[in-house]
Amino acid sequence: MTTTINISWHLRTLLAEHGIYQTTHVVPLLKEHGVHLSREQVYRLVTQTPQRLNMEVLAALCSILSCTPNDLITLAAEEAASPRRAATNGKRSTVPPPQPPTKTTLRRPGNQ
């Protein structure tokens, strides 16, 4: 059995609880705390679970929303069963081995 950790990101929910429904309103709030992010970066931060999170950004978000990191991030461990191999009853697999990659040449239209 393997254990996977599911990460839930609650920034959008917390922003809504504080009456902030547009990501463009978060940009100046972050600037007040010394965090300079573009509109696009803030949009991705709100709508997607970040892969990495700067500590200054986390501290600014917690200050803006009057919350703790535990309010923003929830971790849940989930045990997944190991994949089982199909029974072959002593027979060999009929799946062919993978083929090696082939070289491909890309040609632009008009440039023959």
Asked if the structure places residue 57 within a domain, the reply is yes
Confidence at residue 112, expressed as pLDDT on a 0 to 100 scale: 57
* Residue 33: CATH number of its domain: 1.10.260
Residue that has been written with the tokens 């463009």 in this structure: 24
Has residue 110 been placed in a domain? no
Could you give the residue ranges of the DSSP H alpha helices within the chain? 11-17, 26-32, 39-47, 55-65, 69-72
pLDDT per residue as tens digits for the range 14-42: 999 999 999 999 999 999 999 999 999 99
Q: How confident is the model at residue 85 (pLDDT cuts 50, 70, 90)?
A: low
Instruction: Say which residue, 16 or 78, is predicted with more confidence.
Output: 16
Give the pair of three-digit tokens for residue 39: 């509109």
C-alpha span between 9 and 12 (Å, rounded): 8
- 74 lies in which domain range? 2-80
Name the residue with higher pLDDT: 63 or 82: 63
Residue 96 within a domain: no
**DSSP classification of residue 48:** S
Question: What is the phi-psi region of residue 60: left when phi exceeds 0, alpha when psi lies from -120 to 50, beta otherwise?
Answer: alpha
Whole-angstrom Cα distance, residue 48 to residue 11? 9
Locate tokens 């082939």: which residue? 102
Percentage of the residues of the chain whose pLDDT score is greater than 90 = 62
pLDDT of amino acid 53: 93
Predicted confidence (pLDDT) per residue in 86-100, tens digit: 555 666 667 777 888
Residue 42 — φ and ψ, nearest 5°?
-65, -40
The beta strand positions in 67-108, using DSSP E, are 73-80
pLDDT band at 69 (very low <50, low <70, confident <90, very high): very high
Q: Is residue 60 part of a domain?
A: yes
Whether 58 is in a domain gets the answer yes
In angstroms, the CA 77 to CA 6 distance is 6
